[in-house]
Amino acid sequence: MTSPAGADTEVVLPPRPQPRRGVSLRDAGPPIALAVIFLLFALISPGFRTIGNVQNIMDAAAVLAVVTCGITFVLMMGSIDLSAPGVMGAAAIAVSLLVANNRNGNDWGLLGVLVAVLLAAALGCLSGLALVLLKVPSFMTTLGVSAVGLGVATLLFGGVQPNISDEMLRGWAIERFLGLAYLTWIAFGCVLIGWLIQCYSRLGRYAFAIGGAEEVLALSGVKVAPYKVAVFTLAGAFYGLAGVMVTSQLSAGLVQAGKGYDFAAITAAVVGGTLLTGGRGGILHSAVGVLLVTVLTNGLVQVGVSPYWQGGVQGLIVVAAVAAAVIPQRRRNQVTK
């Protein structure tokens, strides 16, 4: 449970009516699955259980973790976000043209990163605005914004690969602190910030509430539209940062920097226990999901599963993991969409 409910209850409270069945197990499922899969790989593969590989897994999870942070807020509202590829691509190209690079004389450094993230946030905001103003489902607005982002990125790309020479940005991927790349620490920072937003900010709590019962917020006099736009903007900012991180890793701005991250992040969030219908889950759930997915990807390579089969085996395990996680909470009249 990531709800702060338990965090600061120091007074002794009257006994509660018995808790709902399955509450604790529901949240324990994904971490247990993570542990089991991790142990399994560690048993099978000596290469997997090295410190170096664990560092590698953490590093490899960094970008996905940041994307998932963003998408989690959207999923919590019960919306969906497919804009990551476009937004990341636009941010990646933008940042690579703003920091020191081979295409132009810009050398904006950290400011360039900031501008790229703002651009991404603006694209996210666009999804949100289209959702609340045109009343178009987020599935479509984000798909549209993704295409717009890719278009903007292709325009900026202009046929010549922008490569970055900015030492700071390149250093993020290369330099290490306590064995982990700076990028990984950035991802940790994002998860922490995401968690704080989720638990301690009105934005985060309202996002959660919108997923739970949007109509009730309106009855209580809360205008949900600004919060929805804000959530998509926040998600866009996270994607933008992720795009910057990919650029840092590759030392080059790629239009395709975000390819595949949309479904990967949704998978991670859902595997971690965030419901697509909204109102449940959260950043910490998603973080577990990200690790689970990354451990799987890494482990299958380590174990030496044929590249032909890897996708399939991964799909199978994800389904099995979710199935195992839902067994304890299965109820007769439970709604599964």
Ligand X SMILES: Nc1ncnc2c1ncn2[C@@H]1O[C@H](COP(=O)(O)OP(=O)(O)OP(=O)(O)O)[C@@H](O)[C@H]1O
Rounded Cα distance between 121 and 135, Å, is 20
Rounded Cα distance between 131 and 225, Å, is 9
Q: How far is the CB of 238 from another protein (least distance, A)?
A: 18
Backbone angles phi, psi at 164, to 5 degrees: -95, 145
Rounded Cα distance between 214 and 204, Å, is 14
Instruction: Pick the closer one to another protein by CB: 20 or 111.
Output: 20
Q: How far is the CB of 20 from ligand X (least distance, A)?
A: 4
Q: How far is the CB of 15 from another protein (least distance, A)?
A: 9
Does position 17 interact with ligand X (CB under 6 A)? The reply is yes
Backbone angles phi, psi at 153, to 5 degrees: -60, -45
Rounded Cα distance between 197 and 206, Å, is 10
Tokens 């839902």, residue?
326
Q: Which stretch binds ligand X (CB under 6 A): 14-22, 98-106, 185-193, 275-283?
A: 14-22
Q: How far is the CB of 69 from another protein (least distance, A)?
A: 18
Q: How far is the CB of 35 from another protein (least distance, A)?
A: 20
- Which amino acid type is present at position 195? W
- Choosing among another protein, ligand X, none, which partner's interface includes residue 140 (Cβ < 5 to 8 Å by kind)? another protein
Q: How far is the CB of 17 from another protein (least distance, A)?
A: 6
**Is 145 exposed, middle or buried (CB count within 10 Å of its CB: 0-12, 13-18, 19+)?**
buried
State both tokens at 307. 């590249």
Instruction: Pick the closer one to another protein by CB: 280 or 285.
Output: 280
- Choosing among another protein, ligand X, none, which partner's interface includes residue 219 (Cβ < 5 to 8 Å by kind)? another protein
Does position 20 interact with ligand X (CB under 6 A)? The reply is yes
The site for ligand X, by CB under 6 A, has a size of: 3
Does position 332 interact with ligand X (CB under 6 A)? The reply is no
Does position 21 interact with ligand X (CB under 6 A)? The reply is yes
Query: Bridge partners of 164?
Result: 101
- Choosing among another protein, ligand X, none, which partner's interface includes residue 13 (Cβ < 5 to 8 Å by kind)? another protein
Q: How far is the CB of 212 from ligand X (least distance, A)?
A: 17
Backbone angles phi, psi at 46, to 5 degrees: -65, -35
- Choosing among another protein, ligand X, none, which partner's interface includes residue 323 (Cβ < 5 to 8 Å by kind)? another protein
Rounded Cα distance between 146 and 20, Å, is 40
Give residue number: closest CB to ligand X. Answer: 20
Rounded Cα distance between 334 and 330, Å, is 7
User: Is residue 29 within 8 Å of residue 325, measured between CB atoms?
Assistant: yes
Q: Which stretch binds ligand X (CB under 6 A): 13-21, 86-94, 160-168, 266-274?
A: 13-21
Contacting positions for ligand X (CB under 6 A): 17, 20-21
